[in-house]
Structure 1
Amino acid sequence: MKPLQNILYITKPGAYLSKERETIHIRLEEGPDVKIPIHGISGIVCFGTVGMSPWLMGFCAERNVAVTFLTDTGRFLARVHGPMHGNVLLRRAQYRTADVADQSGTLAAAFVTGKLYNCRQALLRCIRDHGETPALRETEKLLSDRIRTLTSVEDCDTARGMEGDAARAYFSAFPDLIRKSDPAFAFSGRNRRPPKDAVNALLSLFYTLLVHDVRSALETVGLDSAVGFLHKDRPGRPSLALDMMEELRPVFCDRLTVSLINREQVRASDFLTNPDSGAVTLEDEARKRVLAAWQKMKQETLTHPFTDEKIAKGLIPFIQARLLARHLRGDLDGYPPFLWR
């Protein structure tokens, strides 16, 4: 089993990272320098005006440590990684499957099934803990109906349409998951680029972090993260990472967003609004707390529903990537999405 390693998040403006022997040397504009051994790091995520030496980039590439650069608000800028690993025959099988309509459609339906099942589980947990509302029960029934229909779907466009309809219904019921009555956490639907409220700011940040982890997992097993099944190919878009991310959003991102708000681990004062663009972002200290909560959440243990292994939650993307690779090689009849229990 692959060990769960840490992601290094750099949030200090003006920080500069360089290589010093087997360590990452972090120089800060204010405060002491920090040195971190690279052997326990699986990725580096830099927010805002963070610099990095080319020697460290090359060192990270050699060690299979992906480096991602984001804006202050968490929007993706660039990614640096080394050569793709794995067997070229696996990637050829991936490309062939993507070009066969019914095979591609079946995989697209599997990703959507995982997403809708896990969205439904999020609603059921809320109903169990806090009681049902008309919106929660109606959306839960809709998701159940869509999940049953997806068992016979072999068309990508049909799967996409069902995913879109179900996602709109799910986010219409999302406010009922938030028990905090503070108007600062009012949610009237998904918005992004930039997010215009505190809930969307948290969701967008976590979705960006999840894409980083899923993309790294896919490339670790040798798959091409740019060639997907549910999401159409587009230059610069990690379509396969976005495919697999769909089933994991409710488990990783949506649940943590709701928990942070309901437990008052984030407050209205933790968010800043840009008067020109209306973009809502986390202030620096709050972002550190939120990133720490993200890392802690990934350390939680659970039993994987397909492999029956007890694992850290952060390893789910790697196990799902391995299962997808096994399916594409012909070792599994179908791809088993992660179904949250």
Structure 2
Amino acid sequence: MKKTFYLFNPGRLSRKDNTLKFTPVDDNGREGQPKYIPVEGVSDLYCFGSLDANSALYNFLGKAGISVHFFDYYEHYTGSFQPKEYLLAGKMQIQQTQHYLNVAKRLVLAKKFVEGSAFNLTKNLKYYDNRSKDLESQLTRIQSLTESIGSTTSVPELMGIEGNIRQSYYSGFDVILNDHAMEGRSKQPPLNEVNALVSFGNMLCYTQVLDQIYHTQLNPTISFLHEPGYRRYSLALDLAEIFKPILVDRTIFRVLNKREIQSKDFDIQVNRVILKESGKKTFLKAFEERLSETIQHRVLKKKVSYKHLIKLECYKLSKHLLGIETYKPFKIWW
């Protein structure tokens, strides 16, 4: 079974027969012990350290269908190497573009993304509210905002509602978390430990969604809720809204409340907090475990992983764009 590999250290990546060879390099240029990764076992690579590679290596990765995602020192997603878009189809491109250009059609999908996100956010809050955490004020506020989604007449207005829903939701983090406080959402840069985890987790969710989009006929640059922009896979931002509460926030609650990640796992700088390597590894382990968890799917009548749910969401969106079946966002039913 293919899996994701995370490269934390700077180094050199090269091909050796049908194997990937990663040679770590320290700050003084000294090479460490090489590690060999069979290419048939790799789904994608996440690079958190500087990577030295040549075009021959990327040709090899492209033929093997392996994506590479890059992040800078401050954990910002900077870009991806994606193999040739072998699944893109003309009909889908046309329909996706038409749904973006048609204000009414675009608004229908944009509302679905916000509704799905709001529902899953509410489920998280209800889970903890039922466990002696007083989150009634947040739940009431989000319910009121959710009821106004249907009457919105523009995407900017809808984005405003979505932002207010998120603000109310994040205020509940200070109630849910035992030993940490969020104190409002801060990003670019995150100003405390909770915000550092949210930024890191959201970025991982975004790249997971992007990877699943790649395996469908959807174009990741044409979106409906977020405005398409230069050098941004904005459709991944749309779909990630639905899965961040399930994949990212639940993981954050786990690693902090179970003290798997503590203050010592953060690099606290002036006006910036980032995860140390120890914190990244712990969070990634918990995140991977979350992606691998399975649930009994009510329609398919079989167990599917959370990671596969993302791909199923892409298929549902594809059917909507092609006029086969109306899109309904994934909502937690348990």
Q: TM-score, normalised by structure 1?
A: 0.91
Whether the 8 Å CA contact 1:229–1:240 is kept in 2: the answer is: yes
d(CA) in 2 for partners of 1:40, 1:336: 34
- How far 1:149 moved relative to its partner? 3.6
* Alignment match, 2:264: 269
d(CA) in 2 for partners of 1:142, 1:232: 26
After superposition, the CA RMSD in angstroms is 1.7
Does 1:92 pair with 2:88?
A: no
Residue ranges of structure 1 left out of the alignment (5+ in a row):
none
Residue type matched to 1:283 in 2? Answer: K
* Alignment match, 1:290: 283
Whether the 8 Å CA contact 2:88–2:219 is kept in 1: the answer is: no
- How far 1:73 moved relative to its partner? 2.3
Residue ranges of structure 2 left out of the alignment (5+ in a row):
26-30
1:335 to 317, 327, 330: 327
Same amino acid, percent of matched pairs: 24
d(CA) in 2 for partners of 1:51, 1:317: 31
How do 1:14-33 and structure 2 match up within 5 A? 14-29=10-25, 31-33=32-34
- How far 1:65 moved relative to its partner? 1.4
- How far 1:42 moved relative to its partner? 1.6
Using a 3 Å threshold, how does the CA distance of structure 1 residues 78 and 308 change in structure 2: closer, same or farther? Answer: same
Residue type matched to 2:3 in 1? Answer: N
Q: Which has the higher contact order (CA 8 A, sep 6+)?
A: 1
Whether the 8 Å CA contact 1:106–1:155 is kept in 2: the answer is: no
Residue type matched to 1:116 in 2? Answer: A
- How far 1:220 moved relative to its partner? 1.3
Does 1:110 pair with 2:105?
A: no
- Secondary structure, aligned partner of 1:18: strand
- Secondary structure, aligned partner of 1:236: coil
* Alignment match, 2:205: 210
d(CA) in 2 for partners of 1:153, 1:65: 41
- Secondary structure, aligned partner of 1:221: coil
* Alignment match, 1:179: 178
* Alignment match, 1:60: 61
- How far 1:307 moved relative to its partner? 4.3
d(CA) in 2 for partners of 1:305, 1:141: 29
Q: TM-score, normalised by structure 2?
A: 0.93
* Alignment match, 1:225: 220
Consecutive aligned runs of 4 or more in structure 1 exceeding 6 Å deviation: none
- Secondary structure, aligned partner of 1:77: strand
* Alignment match, 1:101: 103
Whether the 8 Å CA contact 1:24–1:35 is kept in 2: the answer is: yes
1:11 to 3, 8, 33: 8
